[in-house]
C-alpha cells in the first residue's frame, strides 16, 4: 500500500464520524459490548490502543461487531503492526513515525494515521506521501491554535488531533479547515465501562457523533 492510498483510506475513515474513540481496554469481556454501544451511538471507527496485554484480544472481539471498523493505536514497531493485522485491525495509528514503522504498515497494506507534533514532522510525512496525519499530543503542543498555525503553510495535510481532546474543546478543533475528525477517550469513561453502563456510553457516543465538522 502506497502512502497516497493509505492517506485516502484514512481520510475515508476520518469522515465517517467527528470522533474516533481512543480505547484502553483491560478486560476483554468488555470489548464487544463496548464496541456495540459505540457503533450504535454513531461512532463506527474504533481505535484500541496497544497499551494493555488484552488489547490484541480486544481488537479480535471488536472486529466481530457489525458496522464497526477497528484499528490498533500506539503502533511503535513492525512487530506491533504484524500482531495488529493478525488480530484483525483494519487501520493503524501511531504517536509518531519512523521509517521502519511506515515500511511495515505499507508492506502489510495497513492504512496508517501517523503522528506528527511539529511542522517539520508533518512536512517529512507529506514528503513521503502522507496527506492525512494525527496531531499528537494535541493540547500539549498548543492545541487548536497551533494546529491552525501549522495549517497555514501546510494546507495539503489534514489531521486527526488527539491527546487532551474532550467534549468541551472538540468543537474548536472540528472548526478548523485542516481537521477531519478528532480522537478522544471521553466517550468510553472507565467508570461506565466497569459498571457495564452501555446505554450511558451509547448516549455519549450519540452526543459526540452530533458534533459539527468544518471540512
Instruction: State the first-to-last Cα distance of the chain, in angstroms, to the nearest integer.
Output: 26
Instruction: Pinpoint the alpha helices (H) of the chain.
Output: 3-14, 31-40, 55-62, 78-87, 99-107, 119-128, 143-151, 170-174, 190-195, 198-209
The backbone torsions φ and ψ at residue 169, rounded to the nearest 5 degrees and listed phi first, read -105, -10
Catalytic residue among 47, 54, 106, 202: 47
The backbone torsions φ and ψ at residue 50, rounded to the nearest 5 degrees and listed phi first, read -85, 55
- Among candidate residues 5, 37, 9, the one with its CA nearest the CA of residue 23: 37
Active site residue 134: yes
Catalytic residue among 61, 134, 192, 202: 134
Q: What is the torsional sign of CA 57, 69, 190, 172?
A: positive
Cβ pair 33, 61 in contact under 8 A: no
Coil vs helix vs strand at 81: helix
Q: Which residues are catalytic?
A: 47, 134
Amino acid at each position: 500500500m502506497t502512502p497516497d492510498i493509505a492517506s485516502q483510506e484514512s481520510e475515508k475513515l476520518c469522515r465517517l464520524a467527528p470522533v474516533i474513540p481512543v480505547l484502553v481496554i483491560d478486560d476483554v469481556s468488555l470489548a464487544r459490548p463496548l464496541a456495540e454501544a459505540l457503533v450504535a451511538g454513531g461512532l463506527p471507527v474504533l481505535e484500541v490502543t496497544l497499551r494493555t496485554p488484552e488489547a490484541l484480544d480486544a481488537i479480535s472481539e471488536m472486529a466481530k461487531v457489525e458496522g464497526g471498523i477497528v484499528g490498533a493505536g500506539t503502533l511503535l514497531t513492525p512487530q506491533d503492526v504484524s500482531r495488529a493485522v493478525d488480530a484483525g485491525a483494519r487501520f493503524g495509528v501511531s504517536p509518531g513515525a519512523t521509517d521502519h514503522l511506515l515500511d511495515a504498515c505499507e508492506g502489510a497494506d495497513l492504512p496508517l494515521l501517523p503522528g506528527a507534533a511539529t511542522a517539520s514532522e508533518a512536512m517529512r510525512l507529506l514528503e513521503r506521501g502522507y496527506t492525512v496525519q494525527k496531531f499528537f499530543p494535541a493540547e500539549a503542543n498548543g492545541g487548536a491554535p497551533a494546529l491552525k498555525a501549522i495549517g497555514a503553510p501546510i494546507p495539503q495535510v489534514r489531521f486527526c488531533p488527539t491527546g487532551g481532546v474532550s467534549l468541551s474543546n472538540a468543537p474548536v478543533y472540528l472548526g478548523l479547515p485542516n481537521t477531519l475528525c478528532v480522537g478522544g477517550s471521553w466517550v468510553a469513561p472507565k467508570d461506565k465501562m466497569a459498571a457495564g453502563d452501555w446505554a450511558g456510553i451509547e448516549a455519549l457516543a450519540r452526543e459526540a457523533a452530533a458534533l459539527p465538522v468544518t471540512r
